[in-house]
Structure 1
Amino acid sequence: MRIFGVILIAAATLWPVYWFAGLAGQHDAGASFSQYLGSASLILMGINQFLATRIKGLETFFGSLDRIYVLHKWIAVIAIAALGLHDIIDAEMDGIRGEALSGIAEDIGEVSLYGLLILGFASVITFIPYHLWKWTHRFIGVFFAMGAFHFFFIEKPFQNAEPLGLYVSAFCLLGLASYLYMILLRPMLPVGHAYVVKAIRHVGTVTEITLTPKGRGMRHKAGQFAFLQLAQSGLSEEHPFTLSSAPAEDGSLRFSIKDLGDFTRRLGQNLDEGGDATVTGPFGHFTLPSGRDPQVWIGAGIGVTPFIAFAESLKTRESGPVTLYYCVREESDAFFAEEFRQLAADVPAFELVLLSSANGERLTPDIIAAKAAADLGRTHVYFCGPKAMRSALRTELISKGLRGSRFHFEEFEMRSGIGLRKLANWLLDRGLSELARRREQRTQPGE
């Protein structure tokens, strides 16, 4: 994500401190702080509703869409935490008279709080099926609207027409307008590009879909992704997938989709040729640099799909030496190895290195650094695969001389948790260790 966008959001959230600091001198400081937390939560949620629209221009300020999804998640976490603290810390102030609807606003605020807490918690529990999560996620806008109503009519030490009231109200209106756009206006707008499913090919557990445009089609760069929606029963959910083909003269697109869940399983089994499809995008900044500096591509499993498009694009562009490390568990899982070998034969600057962990072959920073040698500082590294592998390689390669700005990656999961599973596993391990320790103490003979 772009630091400029993060600074904008932080500044927007902290700006009301100026007004609330003045109020704290006139009223109870704790209550003033609580009211600031409630206002900050509304500001963040209004921004988050706006980020969810995916309108053009967002990537300019906040970075590629995959980073925006990460930003969206953490803004929601902070907003709900602030909202929870607002509820815990008493916000009532002596001498403040409420409007006629203040009692109702209080009750609606409670409903909004618990609704947002439940849906927010459901969003970070990643084992909830995607279609159920997406369906319930739509109601966040409803509970946000209740929160805005609570703000407009609740007892507070300032009027809605005053600068502080107008400021917070502007973000409430931004969030409400964004939500209405998503549920009412966007479905009626001609968003996306119309395509037809031309061909379907099954390669192991991967389904390759080739689409041809009905009209002009979508222009994209190798490595970008798009949202795919298929006009077929059971497959009409919109999902993001990497485009596994470089831009083609006829405007055709290819998606290589691995069977990883209910939707992708249905897609592999039920999709028919000739059906209509809508593609929205493109998104993402995971694209090749200009120039002839050396490049290292690392694709683990299905994470190799953007590199198919990368390799195809080498036929029509100049580049320095390129090495692709294709990492799989079994050699039989390397579904695209033959395609890469053919591309390597056509493009002398491109080299494929296939690594199978079942054969004891693992990619290490030492292997990459040894091959790059003195050129490591000029090398661009592109990675797509598991986060743990990415973190380990990036840290070690930077310590060996790679520039951090030249390690490029994409957030592989659009929906991710906040470490709850890791925390649960840690607590379970600690609990089991403690039980084992106590059991051992009970079985030891007395001294």
Structure 2
Amino acid sequence: MTVKTWQVISSIVLITTISVLLQIPNETWGTAATASLVLGASALACMATSCTLSSRWGFVEKLFGGLDQLYQTHKWLGIWALVFAVYHFVFKANLDSWDASPILELPKYWARLARQLSIVALGFIVLLALNRNIPYHVWRWWHKLSGPLFLIVILHWLSFKSPITLDSSAGIWLALICAIGVMAAFYKLVLYPLLASGGEYKVVAVSHGNKAVHLELAPVNRSFAFEAGQFGFLALKEAGLREPHPFTIASAPTNTGNIHFVIRALGDYTHKLSEQVKVGMVADVYAPHGHFKRMPDAQTEIWIGAGIGISPFISWLEDKSIGHFESATLVYCFDPSRAFPSVERIQEMAADSGVRFVPNPSDGDALAETIRRVATEVSPQQVQISFCGPKGLLKHVEELMKANNIPAKNIRYEFFEFR
């Protein structure tokens, strides 16, 4: 059982609403001022939670079933925080009947400035989260400002007049969640590179093909433990390549500790990496992350890998710890002009493991036919689907499941896009 985005946001609003209403006269509960106060406090709590989710703490990731799922919640927390903050900004969160005073007394000018800057800061953070046209290297450094900007929003809460006192239920709730958020932001900004699990690796093999690159890395001192299907953040110790990027580990654990990455040149960073990476380069790998693992009890499995989304399934094919490959069908969705690894290579790996292999070029319908066939060979209730690929194809797969009476809960997926 994993935590869902709607559960997080609704819980934050519910807790915040109850704790705030306890601080004001009940005859004022239905006013616009009360709604403004509740939504302003909810925006603060959403921002604090978003900071906590961005920490990459292992126990937090586990609650959401993977870092990819967690980052979806992280994004929506920012969006809803902005929605709540806009209402709070427009409508005054104060009434004459309230006993209102600031927790932290500031000169009127600075209190007003903190209010104006807080809405600007929140809007800036959400703009970064949603604008995919910003180059990653620029986006990453701007996004690092999220933690310091969050402090401005906290300052606004402390300095504006409200009936919330620090020792009240709402004050304790906001202080606690903000303190955790600040610690998480500090950890991610300062401590993560020093304390995160993983290791130092050296590039020992490089091969190119179809606008992609296959890297093999060997541990310099020690390797890290991981399970097939997990991913790591790769940061080469070379000028222009130091930004940590998430890539699926396209191999199963081995005695040597060597790991593989298959990286498609899709953006400015990956193009540069593909062109410049050489044998002998050293990299930091922050890992393992992700919970996209095989279901050992599944009676019938369909694995669907699209483009670079084939990477976790490559590691599954190499992992002999679970077995039951005869129950699995691998569908490789690919663009014939960009397929890497090649269809022949994936077919060879599938044959070695005893997995049924189905190539599905971008203009083919083998995916739909495979789902229909498998759903007739066994009960649709028994079909378990694992998917890694773009969101558009995921929606198509879910439609095919519905058409073939496969329960919606029988699919697991991993997003390979974090922004």
Normalising by structure 1, what TM-score? 0.85
Residue 18 of structure 2 is matched in structure 1 by 18
Alignment of 1:316-331 (within 5 A): 317-330=323-336
Residue 370 of structure 1 is matched in structure 2 by 373
Residues 1:378 and 1:26: Cα distance change in structure 2 (over 3 Å): closer
User: Given residue 397 of structure 1, which amino acid in structure 2 is its aligned partner?
Assistant: M
Residue 424 of structure 1 is matched in structure 2 by none
Residues 1:295 and 1:190: Cα distance change in structure 2 (over 3 Å): closer
Residue 96 of structure 2 is matched in structure 1 by 94
Instruction: Give the superposition deviation at 1:116.
Output: 1.6
Aligned partners of 1:167, 1:316: CA distance in 2, in Å? Answer: 45
Instruction: Give the superposition deviation at 1:332.
Output: 6.4
Report the number of matched residues.
Answer: 412
Instruction: Give the superposition deviation at 1:25.
Output: 3.1
Out of 359, 375, 378, which is 1:354 matched to? 359
Unaligned runs of 5+ in 2: none
Residues 1:90 and 1:228: Cα distance change in structure 2 (over 3 Å): same
3-state SS in 2 of match to 1:197: strand
Alignment of 1:330-409 (within 5 A): 330=336, 333=339, 335-347=341-353, 349-357=354-362, 360-375=363-378, 376-409=380-413
Residue 32 of structure 2 is matched in structure 1 by 30
Out of 255, 261, 283, which is 1:277 matched to? 283
Q: Which structure: larger Rg?
A: 1
After superposition, the CA RMSD in angstroms is 2.3
Normalising by structure 2, what TM-score? 0.91
Residue 440 of structure 1 is matched in structure 2 by none
Alignment of 1:423-434 (within 5 A): none
Residue 78 of structure 1 is matched in structure 2 by 80
Residue 292 of structure 2 is matched in structure 1 by 286
Instruction: Give the superposition deviation at 1:45.
Output: 0.7
CA contact (8 A) 2:298 2:384 kept: no
Out of 104, 112, 130, which is 1:106 matched to? 112
Q: Which moved more, 1:40-49 or 1:287-296?
A: 287-296
CA contact (8 A) 2:229 2:292 kept: yes
CA contact (8 A) 1:243 1:254 kept: yes
CA contact (8 A) 2:205 2:216 kept: yes
Aligned partners of 2:218, 2:411: CA distance in 1, in Å? Answer: 34
Instruction: Give the superposition deviation at 1:316.
Output: 7.1
3-state SS in 1 of match to 2:69: helix
Residues 1:280 and 1:188: Cα distance change in structure 2 (over 3 Å): closer
Structure 1 stretches of 4+ moved >6 Å: none
Aligned partners of 1:155, 1:9: CA distance in 2, in Å? Answer: 26
3-state SS in 2 of match to 1:179: helix
Instruction: Give the superposition deviation at 1:240.
Output: 0.3
Residue 115 of structure 1 is matched in structure 2 by 121
CA contact (8 A) 1:230 1:276 kept: yes
Unaligned runs of 5+ in 1: 416-447
Aligned partners of 1:341, 1:370: CA distance in 2, in Å? Answer: 20
Residue 167 of structure 1 is matched in structure 2 by 173
Residue 232 of structure 1 is matched in structure 2 by 238
Residues 1:383 and 1:97: Cα distance change in structure 2 (over 3 Å): closer
Aligned partners of 2:101, 2:325: CA distance in 1, in Å? Answer: 70
3-state SS in 2 of match to 1:353: strand
Instruction: Give the superposition deviation at 1:368.
Output: 2.1
